[in-house]
Structure 1
């Protein structure tokens, strides 16, 4: 008989490098899926890791493997501390995304560090991880992977948008789930605000004081990626080669860069979700706290913008990676052909035993 109730830990590290998100959640299946987040926490990276992780694309494969080994040990320690802190006794599996080192699906290449088999032995728990690789092998983008969770856990919303390092969207279209990366957001905003000595632009206050540079805005909006059809996804490499050099060429004040880029992101999102007061849009990720950005989005779209509880805003991706692991344990589809462009729906991920 297929198990219908799970207690699992979900682990997520995103491109914004603000830390490792962990959730301990229950999932129950009774005609449809229900979930409850019991504990959720973001663990900030220790001092050395952000500088290592932001430059992963610069390392050769042997260097990446050495980093992977060290990161796997570090990640296991973070997870063990989370388990001990919350005195968690029952764990069916730890379901981990790891951290993306390389993502070039057109070259059939994707590599997430922290997914080595050793992690199961280090934790002494079953681990489900490395969810992207199989999809890329099947001809898919390997991303985004969250839409299956949007479909099965958040079906009351017309659009699910996550504002992390990148803005991505998921929605139903002609009875299929469609999802893709819309554009970069925090990965760019945080890069420039660091020049002022801040990790992020709190509530968008700095951006709100800037002025839009229309020439830069037009060039950003004209980037070829935005004309491509889904499935499509973005990575750090694309930002470094297409976005940062374009912005830097204008030599603008940081506040004007932030203001212009906020407008760019708002325009790209509004192009996708349209303007229909009957449509409900779920906004999650760190960008949900950027009040100025949300105000601009509401001005560009009449859709009902919904910002949920703090736990969902901050931990939805970790929650859904926990859910991806649950589906993998049940040998059920957790990766959708309509989303990634793979040659079939499939149950992705690797299961490692302690």
Structure 2
């Protein structure tokens, strides 16, 4: 049986606005067995101007969004080109890029990831596979989460795979189908309040740990309509801006108490979301560094074994999986699961752009 190889770069920008994650990855495929090796990897932080722009873009006009898409595509192309040049990367099969989500309203058949314009291929002089969500939404799906097929292919040894980033999401096997959904906001809220205290984020959860739980706020958060919905379901920043933050702001309590209460809320919703409270769970994403949040998750799931991997996988797992989605697209294979998104059918999503 012939072994096949792919030399690709995965590119991811998440809603927590940490920056652009880039990972140079080599995949090998023999039969149905996939393996991967992360070579170079790097996170390029956004400037304060770009952070503010991306935070407020949800309110942009259609005209301003088009200009933002052009500007962000140029920024992303520059970041990718510098990464390729710095690490002297050659003979790439493709650059596989998620882009950055600005709008996500699948119930209205709307999702927008900027940085996925066709000209990015010419700007970096590479084949680019990108814009993975739009087709799924057009097929009646949530357009998210897309990572679960990668969890199934690359991390099958874990009962659950969870990402703690701007939002939390989980994937697992149930009756031979992959199930996945967004659980709740995480760093989109915790970072918002950390910023008010003059910090970029809550380092190891040390700020949240000093606060007190406000039970009235906790109950209102836990009773939000989204948590009563059945999967498939997904979240966008609109939910944070229009629902979660206004709810929290109604309570005139210390910021540390807001953060402590919200941390407890996140941990409780994660525990509720897992159908079986035993087994192993792989946790990745920036929230995995929040020791206090991990402690609270373990408190609510005492019989689950939490596994936090080595740093390259912890930080770049989503970049790795979007690289895999790109490779699957190049191979003409399905890279989105209807059992996860609710689309009409499994399908091979994304666009392939080649430089002129």
Given that 2:168 and 2:185 are in contact with CA atoms closer than 8 Å, whether structure 1 keeps it comes out as yes
Q: Which stretch has the larger CA shift, 332-341 or 27-36? A: 27-36
Determine the C-alpha separation between the residues in 2 that align with 1:189 and 1:344: 36
Q: Cα distance, 1:185 vs. partner?
A: 0.4
Q: Deviations over 1:277-336 (max 9, x none)?
A: 4x0100000010001111111111120000001011100001100000000000101000
Determine the C-alpha separation between the residues in 1 that align with 2:103 and 2:277: 38
Given that 1:3 and 1:330 are in contact with CA atoms closer than 8 Å, whether structure 2 keeps it comes out as no
Q: Does 1:8 align with 2:14?
A: no
Q: Which residue of 1 aligns with 2:190?
A: 189
Q: Does 1:100 align with 2:89?
A: no
Q: Which residue of 2 aligns with 1:19?
A: 19
Q: Which stretch has the larger CA shift, 212-221 or 102-111? A: 102-111
- Cα separation, partners in 2 of 1:274 and 1:298, compared to 1, 3 Å: farther
TM-score with structure 2 setting the length: 0.97
Determine the C-alpha separation between the residues in 2 that align with 1:61 and 1:5: 41
Determine the C-alpha separation between the residues in 2 that align with 1:206 and 1:17: 20
Determine the C-alpha separation between the residues in 2 that align with 1:208 and 1:132: 36
TM-score with structure 1 setting the length: 0.98
Determine the C-alpha separation between the residues in 2 that align with 1:273 and 1:135: 25
Q: Which stretch has the larger CA shift, 2-11 or 71-80? A: 2-11
Given that 2:2 and 2:30 are in contact with CA atoms closer than 8 Å, whether structure 1 keeps it comes out as no
Given that 2:3 and 2:28 are in contact with CA atoms closer than 8 Å, whether structure 1 keeps it comes out as no
Determine the C-alpha separation between the residues in 2 that align with 1:208 and 1:111: 36
Work out the number of aligned pairs and report it: 353
Q: Which stretch has the larger CA shift, 181-190 or 39-48? A: 39-48
Determine the C-alpha separation between the residues in 1 that align with 2:48 and 2:217: 34
Q: Cα distance, 1:2 vs. partner?
A: 9.9
Q: Cα distance, 1:76 vs. partner?
A: 0.2
Instruction: Report 1:258-277 matches (<5 A).
Output: 258-273=259-274, 276-277=277-278
Q: Cα distance, 1:46 vs. partner?
A: 2.3
Q: Which residue of 2 aligns with 1:286?
A: 286
Determine the C-alpha separation between the residues in 1 that align with 2:157 and 2:335: 19
- Cα separation, partners in 2 of 1:276 and 1:108, compared to 1, 3 Å: closer
Q: Cα distance, 1:276 vs. partner?
A: 4.1
Q: Which residue of 2 aligns with 1:323?
A: 324
Given that 2:222 and 2:265 are in contact with CA atoms closer than 8 Å, whether structure 1 keeps it comes out as yes
Q: Cα distance, 1:252 vs. partner?
A: 1.4
Q: Does 1:215 align with 2:222?
A: no
Q: Does 1:129 align with 2:130?
A: yes
SS in 1 for 2:206: helix
SS in 2 for 1:17: coil
Q: Which residue of 2 aligns with 1:84?
A: 85
Given that 2:209 and 2:292 are in contact with CA atoms closer than 8 Å, whether structure 1 keeps it comes out as yes
Q: Does 1:29 align with 2:29?
A: yes
Q: Deviations over 1:327-350 (max 9, x none)?
A: 000010100000000000000000
